[in-house]
Amino acid sequence: MKTLIKAMFTVVMVGCSAVSMGQVAVVVGANSAVTAVNTEQVAGLFLGKSDHLPGVRSGLLLDQPESSPTRELFYTKVTGKSTAQVRAAWSRLVFSGQAVPPKVVANSEAVKKMVTTNPNALGYIEKSAVDATVKVVLTVD
Which residue, 31, 104, 114, 93, is CA-closest to 70? 104
Going by their DSSP bridges, the two strands 121-126 and 60-63 should be labelled as parallel
Return the pLDDT at 59: 86
Helical (H) or strand (E) element with 86: helix 83-96
Each residue of 89-140: pLDDT tens digit? 999 999 999 999 999 999 999 999 999 999 899 999 999 999 999 999 999 9
Domains along the chain with CATH numbers: 21-140 (3.40.190.10)
3-state secondary structure of 108: helix
At residue 16, does pLDDT exceed 50? no
